[in-house]
């Protein structure tokens, strides 16, 4: 069985998961609430509705953000954030100046444009790809129906329409693969109140396989994804996250998994269709964290999360 360990994450390794392909495995024990790893975004885009409220670069929510002097539509904490974002923002900045109010590509198109640009400027592996490279993402093209293929072609047309003067494109076949990869491996970033902030690519987070009885939860600190344990994890255990909202019934969850990720979950809860103890406990932790995060800052939320998960409050 092949495996690969990150030099900076000796507690985790990539391995071949039986029946699932690539996966992530623990090399030591993790307690409930403990941080397994964090992953900065390979690239990300702030949703248009939050412009002016959050920094385009780090997603921080602040008053008195500085506006881009050229397009007047992007806002930043300071000069440092603006300079850091400029290599990718300049793709949109020029286009927004040309199209004005008619500039309206989807977040998927914007994210893909940034990936293409970043691959040109950073051809090597980035700090977001310690265990999984973005070029290794699954695209599942062989499983796409005609409707999904048509949607990808529409996205490619929008990419050419809004970015044609600012990006050197790969050929159409390569773009189809890239959009398929983004559709299957993109993440939605949420704030503390679970409101949509934008979309991003987190390669190492994408390495984790799905379970409806996950042992970790993914939260966001600006444009950094943090993976924390919601069950006790022992050395040798595979790390599982949930690709979808756990609050949906079993049949609905699997419908969504088949539609977006092209597989049916075979975890204990899905096979038995019974709320096993582990499933109930994970749901309690999942709901607890979401509830705490609505009313407290991330730091306080994690403190309270750790307090409750280490006490008899959730013992079953």
- 228 shares its domain with 167: no
Q: Are 289 and 301 in contact (CB under 8 A)?
A: yes
End-of-domain residue from the set 188, 213, 229: 188
| Inside any domain, residue 240 | yes
Distance CA 291, CA 284 (A): 10
| Inside any domain, residue 239 | yes
End-of-domain residue from the set 132, 153, 188: 188
End-of-domain residue from the set 157, 188, 219: 188
Which has the closest alpha carbon to 141: 132, 128, 151? 151
Which has the closest alpha carbon to 282: 299, 303, 268? 268
Domain residue limits at 278:
3-41+204-314
Which has the closest alpha carbon to 66: 29, 55, 145? 55
- 93 shares its domain with 37: no
Can you count the helices (H) and strands (E) in the chain? 9, 13
Q: State phi, psi for 59 to the nearest 5 degrees.
A: 70, 10
Q: Are 233 and 239 in contact (CB under 8 A)?
A: yes
With both helix axes pointing from N to C terminus, report the angle between 172-185 and 107-121 in degrees, rounded to the nearest 10.
110
CA angle 183, 36, 180 (to 5 degrees): 10
Ranges of the chain with pLDDT below 50: 1-2, 7-8, 309-316
CA angle 226, 17, 201 (to 5 degrees): 35
Beta carbons within 10 angstroms of residue 136's beta carbon: 14
- 67 shares its domain with 175: yes
Which pLDDT score, from 0 to 100, does residue 110 have?
Answer: 96
Number of domains in the chain: 2
- 154 shares its domain with 290: no
CATH (domain of 28):
2.170.270.10
């Amino acid at each position: 069985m092949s495996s690969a360990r990150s030099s900076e994450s000796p507690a985790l390794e990539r391995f071949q998961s039986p029946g699932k392909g690539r996966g992530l495995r623990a090399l030591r024990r993790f307690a409930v609430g403990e941080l397994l790893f964090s992953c900065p975004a390979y690239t990300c885009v702030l949703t248009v509705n939050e412009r002016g409220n959050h920094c385009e670069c780090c997603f921080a929510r602040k008053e008195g953000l500085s506006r881009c002097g050229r397009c007047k539509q992007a806002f930043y904490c300071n000069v440092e954030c603006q300079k850091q974002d400029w290599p990718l923002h300049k793709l949109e900045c020029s286009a927004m100046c040309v199209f004005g109010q008619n500039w309206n590509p989807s977040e998927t198109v914007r994210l893909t444009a940034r990936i293409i640009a970043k691959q040109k400027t950073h051809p090597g592996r980035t700090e977001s790809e310690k265990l999984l490279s973005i070029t290794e993402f699954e695209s599942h093209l062989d499983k796409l129906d005609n409707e999904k293929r048509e949607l990808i072609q529409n996205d490619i047309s929008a990419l050419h329409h809004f970015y044609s003067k600012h990006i050197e494109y790969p050929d159409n076949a390569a773009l189809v693969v890239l959009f398929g990869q983004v559709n299957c491996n993109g993440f939605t970033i949420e704030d503390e109140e679970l409101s949509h902030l934008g979309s991003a690519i987190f390669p190492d987070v994408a390495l984790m396989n799905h379970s409806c009885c996950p042992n970790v939860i993914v939260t966001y600190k600006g444009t950094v994804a943090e993976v924390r344990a919601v069950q006790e994890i022992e050395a040798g255990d595979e790390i599982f996250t949930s690709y979808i909202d756990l609050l949906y019934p079993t049949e609905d969850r699997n419908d969504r998994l088949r539609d977006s990720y092209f597989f049916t979950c075979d975890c204990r809860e899905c096979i038995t269709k019974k709320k096993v103890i582990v499933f109930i406990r994970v749901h309690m932790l999942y709901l607890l964290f979401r509830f705490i995060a609505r009313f407290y800052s991330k730091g306080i939320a994690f403190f309270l999360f750790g307090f409750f998960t280490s006490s008899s409050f959730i013992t079953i």
